[in-house]
Structures are given as C-alpha cells and as structure tokens.
Structure 1
Amino acid sequence: MNPQREYFYEIDADGRLFHDGSELTDTRFLDFFFTHLKPNPGPLHPEYAFLSPCGREMNYIKSSSPIVFRALMKFETGTSLLYAGQKLQPFMPEALTLDASGQLYHPTEIGIAGRLGRHALLEISKFIYQEEGRYWIRWNSEQYCIATKST
C-alpha cells in the first residue's frame, strides 16, 4: 500500500489558491478542490486549518477564511454568490452574519461560512443599512437583520 501524499496550499484574502507560490486558476480543479474543503480534524499539521482530500492525496490549506465570495450574480431564477472557479451558492440575505471585526459571512452547502470579498461586498453594500445599532439588508422588498457571529 502506498503512503498518502501530502500537499500544502494557501488561500489569500481574495480567495485565490496557491501552491508553492503559484496561483492555481483551472476552473474545474478549483471547483473540485473547494467542493471537498473541510476543517482539519488534526492531529496532523494543525497550522493548516482546512483540508481537501482527493483520493490518496491530502491537501492541507492555510487560510483564516478559505471561501471568499467574489461576486454577486443575478439570474432570472435568483441571485447567487460566486466562489472557487465557477461555483455558485444561492444568496440568502437572511443568513448573513457579521463577525466582531466587521467581516460579512454567508453559509455554503459544504458547511463552511464564506466571507464576502471586496467585489461582492461592494455589490451588496448598497442594500445594507444601519439602524438602532444593528445592521440590516433590504432585499427584494424584504428586510433582514444581519446576525452577529459569535467567535
């Protein structure tokens, strides 16, 4: 039996994936990689908070926020957030959360909250307002309170 191969990656603040200093840009690879993303249960390589298993390979990822939504995409059927290569997450304004540092997050189907990157945040910010010390989003004639994420 062959030992498991290990690879080490970093995801930057814009959600770009790097291996050995080179950015990986293949859309199909990125979509596969991010689909399998999950927290690193340890005990190996605790400095890498996430991993993405692939067959006999274990891909360790260093990032404080591995999923970064790059854009808000509007379609006839609804609105989605874009991340990874071309992965789409249906946008649910009622599910937005704000952390103590002011970062805005949205859940994903893989269970890891994604941070809204600068471009997605610029698109959504025109729908956000503050009232009585709370942040709200007005979306499709509805108002939703943005929950505060506990750390």
Structure 2
Amino acid sequence: MFLRPSKNVLTNFRFAWTKVPLEYQQGRWIDGVREYFYYIDHNGQLFMDDQRMMNFTSCFKDKQFLAFFFRRLQHTSVDKYKEYFPYTSKCGKEQNYIRCDDRPVVFTSIDRESGEFEYNKSTRSIQFEPSKLCMFPNGRLYHPSPFDNYGLVTSQLADELYAKFKFDSNGKPTHFEWNGETLPLTNELLKFAPQKD
C-alpha cells in the first residue's frame, strides 16, 4: 500500500515534458485500476506530481517504500499517458505514472567501501563502475542503470567526483581516478546523448 498525502482528489492540468497540457485525476479508478501520478526531480526525489511545493521536506523519504516503488519501474504502455508520463510503477490495482526532470534512475550516493551506487534515495543500489561514468554535452554526469540503460548522477555527487576526472586538450573527460587507479573512460553512454539540431 502506498502512503498518500492527505488531500482532496482534484482534477489537475499539468505541463509535463511538452507544452501540451494533460488532464488527469489523482486516485481515479479506470477499468479496475487506480491511477496516481508522480514526478522525479534531478536529485532523485519522488513527489506526487500535483504538489505545489517540491523540496526535501515534501518528497517521499521512506526508504522501504522507495525501494518497493523503484523496483517496479516499467515503460508506460497506455497511449494517452506515455508521451507525458513515460514510466510506471505498478502495485496491485494501483498504476503509478511517472515523469521526471531527466532520468527515472538518479544515483544519489556511493558507499566507498562496498562500491555500491545507491539510487533515488532508496535502499536500492548497483555496483559502481567508475570507468563507465559519462559526461554528456549538457554537462551532466551519467552511469549505467538497471533500468532504461542509464541514470543521472546528482549534481552534488557529480561535483564531488569532478576532481577525479582527467581531461584531454579539448576538455573532454578521458580518465577517472578511483581507489588509487587511473581508469580510461569507455564513454559508451554517449550514444544515448541527445543530438543537437
């Protein structure tokens, strides 16, 4: 069961990834499925999509709930939502539609002893692969993820890691220093970087 903010169910008009408004209703039953709508920010924090204030005090913080939620990430298959809410997390008769500032998986901390890369402020993690860190042309840092190919590294964590990068004469990152080793970067994630028009 998901915890819900105590509030009246209202019809909301939201602007998601495009300028086209999408009408939805939190908690509405459609064909035996109850629909909810969420937003993931660039810090990996999860919110109800229609919250007016989105900051640390208003995001979901229960790590077990977050682990449960993010373990069930899928791509949205419902045509009317997938342009604006491209991801879902299903729980029984609840279908939770998700949009995000950048990526659905956001890496938020590294356990330097175990090498575990925690994501979305939950208990979920994967093994950190430093040679696969990749800086996109937009200046953001990414890493392979267990869902949808790659995830975003939070700005705070990216700032901590920045000093460990080595750059070529063109300013492109080529190596990363980790645990006393200088590792060449594969930059294999660049194939997913948005292309400039």
TM range (shorter): 0.7 to 0.9
Larger radius of gyration: 2
| Residues 102 and 71 (structure 1), Cα distance of their counterparts in 2 relative to 1, 3 Å cut | same
Determine the structure 2 residue equivalent to 1:137: 176
State the distance in 1 between where 2:155 and 2:133 align. 15
Contact persistence 1:80–1:88 (CA under 8 A): yes
- The answer for unaligned runs of 5 or more in structure 2 is 1-30, 52-57
| Letter aligned with residue 137 of structure 1 | F
Structure 2-normalised TM-score?
Answer: 0.67
Equivalent pairs, count = 148
Name the SS for the 2:79 alignment partner.
coil
CA distance in 1, matches of 2:130, 2:94: 36
Question: Could you tell me how far apart the structure 1 residues matched to 2:103 and 2:124 are?
Answer: 16
2:85 aligns to what? 48
Structure 1: runs of 5 or more not aligned = none
Partner AA of 2:69 in structure 1: F
Q: Look up the equivalent residue of 2:96 and give its one-letter code.
A: N
- Identity percentage of aligned residues: 29
Q: Comparing both structures, which one devotes a greater share of its residues to strand?
A: 1
- What is the distance in 2 between the residues matched to 1:31 and 1:79? 19
CA contact (8 A) 1:71 1:119 kept: no
Q: Report which structure shows greater RCO (CA 8 Å, sep ≥6).
A: 1
Root-mean-square deviation (Å): 1.9
TM alignment of 1:62-101, pairs within 5 A: 62-63=99-100, 64-75=102-113, 78-84=114-120, 85-101=122-138
Q: Is the 8 A contact 1:98 1:146 kept in 2?
A: no
Scaled by the length of structure 1, the TM-score of the pair is: 0.86
